[in-house]
């Protein structure tokens, strides 16, 4: 596939992904899915307008607070709000100020969510670019198409949270390194350094971007480059410390203790288990089951066992895996995952492009050489998810028919094992088309599907 054709198709996928993200974006997910969206918008807008960040927070270290009522909730408004790095606050605040909203604290989600949706444009495009460099143009397009259409990702990209800024920053750094590798000019190194600084200033775990780049440069035996990135990452930490010192150093230190107690010391480490136990884009009690995401996690966690075994040594494949595993390691260290407030779905948003890429790689390998066990695996995880999304939207009296539909879908999918290659291709492309179409159908019907999904489990049948 020629690069020009690839870029045109990737651009079309990106535009289509943007369209899907704009469907009822201010209502689904519901505004109460993450109060952090208001936390950043209010904090950033007041910081820009008044010079002091002010927003809601429940940390006891804040002694300067007042209460206001908005959206039917009584909020504990604190100032100066310095518990987190500043970049996403300011970015969200710019969005609010640019909307000319008269009352900052009444800003609608139709304004607040413009920022993450705009960022998702870059993320979709960069996902395709990065995947194409690692695994080829075909995998690049499949990756972008999966990322653009999977319901969980579409929902996640509407949420105004820090992780939706860390994601394109990390991808930008990886794309630059993938394409240049041994030709890092001073200006390129400066750009990578700035990305590492901005990533930490977005959220503390953004240090994973700098840490990943340092490991990459050490593997390339470019110690000086690693040192430069380390210094820029340290610069981000210094800037954050200076902000704390400027407003209230004692409060700043006290808040860091609050964060550690609330997120790290609230229980024993359970993040790795929580990833597979609590599927969703928000709190633990709002499950949103999506087979594509489950398949992505299974393939990503096992990727060192199959992707890195294809060749003796491949720098690009190591580059692909370094960030998600460093990010996961730091997440496990920084979050216990045990309580209701130590694990949220948005913590995993930066992994979503890598889930899409690793799944696309698996699907492309399957396209080239279909195998029965791989087909069964895909049907168990993604096939059953397709059936579930379809039957959520039908009247309840017909939902019992899902089993017959799933069996029929599985029997039809056996066509990919036909001896004739053309017949194989027909069923392979047809199955993938059904997968994408059901994703799109789900997004269009997300209001009904999401409401059904987040109700959680009903244990009333087991009540005494």
The pLDDT score that the predictor gives to residue 396 is: 86
User: What's the confidence (pLDDT) of residue 456?
Assistant: 53
Edge-to-edge strand ranges of the sheet holding 55-56: 55-56, 73-78, 65-70
Q: What share of the chain is helix, strand, coil (3-state, %, to 5)?
A: 70, 5, 25
For position 313, what pLDDT does the model report? 61
What integer pLDDT is reported at residue 312 of this predicted model? Answer: 60
Tokens at residue 250, please? 């004692």
What phi and psi values does residue 384 have, to the nearest 5 degrees? -65, -35
Handedness of CA 13, 14, 19, 25 (dihedral sign): positive
Reduced to 3 states (helix: H, G, I; strand: E, B; else coil), residue 52 is coil
Give dist(CA 173, CA 198) in Å, integer. Answer: 11
pTM, to two decimals: 0.94
Cα-to-chain-centroid distance, residue 391: 26
Beta bridge pairs of residue 219: none
d(CA 27, CA 299): 32
* Run means of pLDDT, 10 residues per run, the chain, 464 residues: 90 98 95 94 97 95 94 94 97 96 91 98 98 96 98 98 98 96 90 98 98 96 96 98 97 94 85 90 88 97 89 83 97 87 92 98 97 97 96 90 95 95 96 97 92 62 42
Dihedral sign of CA atoms 292, 294, 300, 302 in order: negative
Q: What is the pLDDT of residue 448?
A: 87
Cα–Cα dist 179/131, whole Å: 12
For the residues of 83-116, what is the DSSP string, one character each?
A: SS-SHHHHHHHHHHHHTT-SSGGG--HHHHTHHH
Domain ranges within the chain, ordered by starting residue: 3-27+116-358, 367-456
Q: Give me the pLDDT at residue 2, please.
A: 78
- What separation, in Å, do the N-terminal and C-terminal C-alpha atoms of the chain show? 63
* Ranges of H-type helices in 266-416: 271-277, 291-306, 315-334, 352-368, 372-378, 384-392, 402-413
Place of tokens 């790795």: 272
* pLDDT value at residue 461: 42
Using DSSP, state whether 427 is helix, strand or coil. Answer: helix
Please give the Cα distance from 403 to 388 (Å, whole number): 10
């Amino acid at each position: 596939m020629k690069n020009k054709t690839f870029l045109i198709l990737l651009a079309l996928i990106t535009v289509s992904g943007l369209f899907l993200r704009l469907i009822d974006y201010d209502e689904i997910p519901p505004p109460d899915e993450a109060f952090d969206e208001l936390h950043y918008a209010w904090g950033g807008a007041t910081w820009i307008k008044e010079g002091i960040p002010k927003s809601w927070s429940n940390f006891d270290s804040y002694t300067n607070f007042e209460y206001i009522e908005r959206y039917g909730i009584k909020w504990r408004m604190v100032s100066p709000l310095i518990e987190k790095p500043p970049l996403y606050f300011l970015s969200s605040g710019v969005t609010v100020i640019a909307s000319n909203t008269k009352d900052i604290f009444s800003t609608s989600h139709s304004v607040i969510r413009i920022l993450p949706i705009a960022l998702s444009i870059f993320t979709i495009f960069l996902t395709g670019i990065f995947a194409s460099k690692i695994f080829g143009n075909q995998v690049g397009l499949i990756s972008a198409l999966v990322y653009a259409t999977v319901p969980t990702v579409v929902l996640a990209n509407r949420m105004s949270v820090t992780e939706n800024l860390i994601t394109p920053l990390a991808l930008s750094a990886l794309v630059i390194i993938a394409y240049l590798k041994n030709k890092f000019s001073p200006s390129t190194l400066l750009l990578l350094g700035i990305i590492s600084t901005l990533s930490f200033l977005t959220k503390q775990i953004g240090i994973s971007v700098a840490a990943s780049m340092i490991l990459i440069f050490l593997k390339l035996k470019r110690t000086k480059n690693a040192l430069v990135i380390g210094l820029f990452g340290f610069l981000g930490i210094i800037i954050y410390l200076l902000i704390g010192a400027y407003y209230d150093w004692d409060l700043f230190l006290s808040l860091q203790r609050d964060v550690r107690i609330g997120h790290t010391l609230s229980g024993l480490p359970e993040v790795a288990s929580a990833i597979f136990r609590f599927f969703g884009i928000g709190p633990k009690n709002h499950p949103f089951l999506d087979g594509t995401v489950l398949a992505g996690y299974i393939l990503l966690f096992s990727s060192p066992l199959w992707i890195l075994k294809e060749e003796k040594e491949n720098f690009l494949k190591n580059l692909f895996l370094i960030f998600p595993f460093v990010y996961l390691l730091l997440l496990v260290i920084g979050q216990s995952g045990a309580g209701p407030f130590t694990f949220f779905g948005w913590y995993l948003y930066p992994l979503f492009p890598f889930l899409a890429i690793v799944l696309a790689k698996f699907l492309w390998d399957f396209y080239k050489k279909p195998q029965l066990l791989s087909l069964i695996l895909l049907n168990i995880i993604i096939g059953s998810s397709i059936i579930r999304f379809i039957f959520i939207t039908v009247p309840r009296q017909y939902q019992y028919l899902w089993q017959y539909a799933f069996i029929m879908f599985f029997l039809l999918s056996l066509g990919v094992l036909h001896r004739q290659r053309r017949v194989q291709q027909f069923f392979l492309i047809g199955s993938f088309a059904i997968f994408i179409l059901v994703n799109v159908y789900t997004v269009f019907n997300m209001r009904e599907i999401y409401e059904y999904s987040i109700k959680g489990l009903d244990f009333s049948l087991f009540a005494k």
